[in-house]
Amino acid sequence: MSDIYDAQLSPSKSELLQAWLPQQPWFSGDASTLVRLGAFRFDDPAGEVGIETHVVAVDGKTYQVPLTYRGAPLEGAEEFLVTTMDHSVLGPRWVYDATGDPVYASELAAAILTGKPVAVQYLVVGDAREALPETIAVSSTETPSVDLPELRFGAPHTVAGVTNIPAGEVIFAVLHELETTGTSQPGHSLTAQWEGQGMPALLATAIKV
């Protein structure tokens, strides 16, 4: 479950994406034309970190942009800092490229390896809560029936538009530019569909080494 507050954000999510994406080596195009196709969230079991993945379209290409939102800086993650944001309800927020955040890595692993579902989102306005419609349907090759093995995540590295997050004998590969015309789903994987996307697009895989 994830609560989304009816709040003013400065910068807005679209503004921060438009500013940050052109700095990434895997991105090309005019970020000012960015269209947000949808988003989904993972749950932080501790309830401290917001974990949101955006899917956006720019100049005919589709990108996956996972972000985390924190109430304080993440020690040692300065290179992954996207921006700081003022949230009218929660106060200052530190926004990170989620591939460098261990909470995201753990929840991505749970989604891929155990089929843990994404968070159900609720809009919070004052004391009222209302379920939000799903904008992206996420599917795992696994079913929610097994426990997540103990994993120790190493430093992520990005090659050719894919960020690899090592975890012992497993590497989690997060695709930044998505193939929307159909692709194979090797081994353990996570896929997504959104309005207008008729076939699953590969988001991430877990590869044994």
Give the pair of three-digit tokens for residue 54.
């955006």
- CA 209, CA 206: separation in Å to the nearest integer? 10
User: What is the amino acid identity at position 26?
Assistant: W
Q: For residues 7-21, give the mean pLDDT.
A: 93
> Is residue 1 pLDDT above 60, yes or no?
no
Q: What is the pLDDT of residues 21-37, one digit of tens each?
A: 999 999 999 999 999 99
Confidence class for position 126, pLDDT limits 50, 70, 90? confident
Q: What is the pLDDT of residues 191-200, one digit of tens each?
A: 999 999 989 9
Which three-class secondary structure state does DSSP give residue 58? strand
Nearest residue to 13 (alpha-carbon basis) of 29, 35, 28, 44 = 35
> Is residue 3 pLDDT above 90, yes or no?
no
Confidence class for position 130, pLDDT limits 50, 70, 90? confident
> Is residue 121 pLDDT above 90, yes or no?
no
133 cis-preceded (ω within 30 degrees of 0): no
| Mean pLDDT of the chain, nearest integer | 91
Count of residues making up the chain: 209
Give the pair of three-digit tokens for residue 13.
């999510």
Strands 188-194 and 136-140: antiparallel
Q: Are 172 and 66 in contact (CB under 8 A)?
A: no
Which three-class secondary structure state does DSSP give residue 11? coil
pLDDT reported for residue 186: 65
pLDDT reported for residue 82: 98
- CA 104, CA 209: separation in Å to the nearest integer? 21
pLDDT reported for residue 19: 97
User: What is the amino acid identity at position 75?
Assistant: E
pLDDT reported for residue 124: 81
Which three-class secondary structure state does DSSP give residue 130? strand
pLDDT reported for residue 108: 97
pLDDT reported for residue 184: 63
pLDDT reported for residue 141: 87
Q: Give me the torsion for CA of 155, 185, 200, 172, rounded to 10°.
A: -10
pLDDT reported for residue 187: 77
Top-confidence residue, 90 or 170: 170
CA distances from residue 173 to 57, 140, 208 in whole angstroms, order as listed: 21, 14, 11
Give the pair of three-digit tokens for residue 166.
């090592």
Nearest residue to 134 (alpha-carbon basis) of 57, 55, 16, 188 = 55
